[in-house]
Structure 1
Amino acid sequence: MFQDGFPNYLREDVAIVVGMISYNNVAIDVSPDTIQYIQEQNVVRFPYRIYAIDSSDEIMDNLSLRQKMILHCIYSRSCDGFVRQKHVYALLQMDYEDWAIPYIVKVCDEYIVEIVEMTYDILKEQDTERIKRFCLENRVSFCKSYNRMISYWNEFYRYTYKNFHNYIGRKLFRECFGYTRSMERST
């Protein structure tokens, strides 16, 4: 269930991480919905949500740096927003590899503005060309993510951020992820 979310050369590392998570939680349950992207001409697919207690603090010392990155990606799909935020923050603090980018982008089209704010605060100071390339490669999905982010602003944050042009999600998608209106027209 998680192997398709990472490059083939990480199969053993993914199995180790999932095994450690599963051992502590008995089992990891996942939603039937999946997220799918293309990355470097390969399909990347991972569960929309996972249902597992965050036991990462107990196993972190037993993982390599790459395995920790995998763990943060997996937990970025948690059903618990606080867990998602914790792991996306940890991922953004690392020198993350390109295969982690889909997990970072996906969590930013969701309804928890604190994750969007945190991500923007970190990425606005970084070179995000790798993320922009990924978003351009997945133009159709990325434009849907942009529209989804707008719908959450409209539903939950319209009164806090009265002017959409000042909304942090818009800034993140435009400045850090490379969204432009022309992307919509060419999909």
Structure 2
Amino acid sequence: MRHYPGSSLDSDLLTAAFPPRLAEDVRSVLAVMPVTALPPADSFSVEVRGETVAIPTRIHHAEPDADAEGSLTGTQRLVLDCLYSRHGDGRVRQRRARTIVASDEPWVAPFVVQLAGEYVVEILEVIREGLSGLDIPESPERRTYGEFIARNSAFYARTERRAVSYWSCFHRRKYPVFGTYPGGVLAEAFRAAASEHAGVRWPRHTPSGLPHGPVAGPG
């Protein structure tokens, strides 16, 4: 069996990405993650149902083999998928995103929203397809993501600005209107969820129509 070889500090950093009640599950996941010489890269802090978690910007572990993953419980596999959604390889993030978007666990939401602000269009499409319930008023998905965004307004504003920046730099030729870009479609759906939860129109940090001239980068 492969054991997580990182320092106790690295282990603490990854455990901090989840609510404390999941600490034992996270440790079981870390025990099957292959060796890496690179520590997690930075982290961002958000609130999930009144608890603060600190999620790594990137991890660099190779993926566990199928037998190792098969030894985990359902909750532990979801923890594993969330962690690998922060992987440096976009193909790994895409595979793991396909799994985590199917969950309605509140602690999964920050991993999904972070991906929604990134630059890989295929991942954005996976999220949009997997979160079709965002379009349905009062759906479980709308409630989960609306509450998360309402609790983390500054984080979500940065996410929108980052999505606009990546669209402007890499995807504007294919999607001249931000609202037709997969990241723009997701931004509208997330804002609708937050508006429904908060009972007010949620602030917009993206272009509302056909943009003219340069678009500001993330703030």
Going by fraction, where is helix more abundant, 1 or 2?
Answer: 1
Match 1:16 to one of 10, 13, 28: 28
**Residue 107 (str. 1) matches residue 115 (str. 2):** yes
**Residue 183 (str. 1) matches residue 197 (str. 2):** no
1:82-97 superposed matches below 5 A: 82-93=91-102, 95-97=103-105
**Residue 169 (str. 1) matches residue 183 (str. 2):** yes
Aligned length: 181
Compute the displacement of 1:96 (Å): 3.8
Match 2:61 to one of 47, 52, 55: 52
Compute the displacement of 1:121 (Å): 1.5
Between 120-129 and 99-108, report the one with greater CA deviation. 120-129
Q: Runs (4+) of structure 1 moved beyond 6 Å?
A: none
1:113-124 superposed matches below 5 A: 113-124=121-132
Q: Please name the residue that 2:158 is paired with.
A: 144
Q: Please name the residue that 1:26 is paired with.
A: 35
**Contact 1:31-1:50 at 8 Å conserved across structures:** yes
- Pairwise CA RMSD: 2.0
Compute the displacement of 1:124 (Å): 2.1
- Structure 2 CA distance, aligned partners of 1:66 and 1:163? 39
Distance change >3 Å, CA 112–CA 18, structure 1 → 2: same
- Structure 2 CA distance, aligned partners of 1:27 and 1:147? 32
How high is the TM-score relative to the length of structure 2?
0.76
The structure that has the greater radius of gyration is 2
Distance change >3 Å, CA 28–CA 20, structure 1 → 2: farther
Query: What residue identity is the alignment partner of 2:29?
Result: V
- Structure 1 CA distance, aligned partners of 2:69 and 2:178? 39
How high is the TM-score relative to the length of structure 1?
0.88
Identity, % of aligned positions? 28
Compute the displacement of 1:118 (Å): 1.2
Query: What residue identity is the alignment partner of 2:112?
Result: I
Gaps of 5+ in 2: 1-12, 196-200, 206-219
- Structure 2 CA distance, aligned partners of 1:56 and 1:45? 26
**Contact 2:36-2:62 at 8 Å conserved across structures:** no
Compute the displacement of 1:176 (Å): 3.8
Gaps of 5+ in 1: none
**Contact 1:34-1:48 at 8 Å conserved across structures:** yes
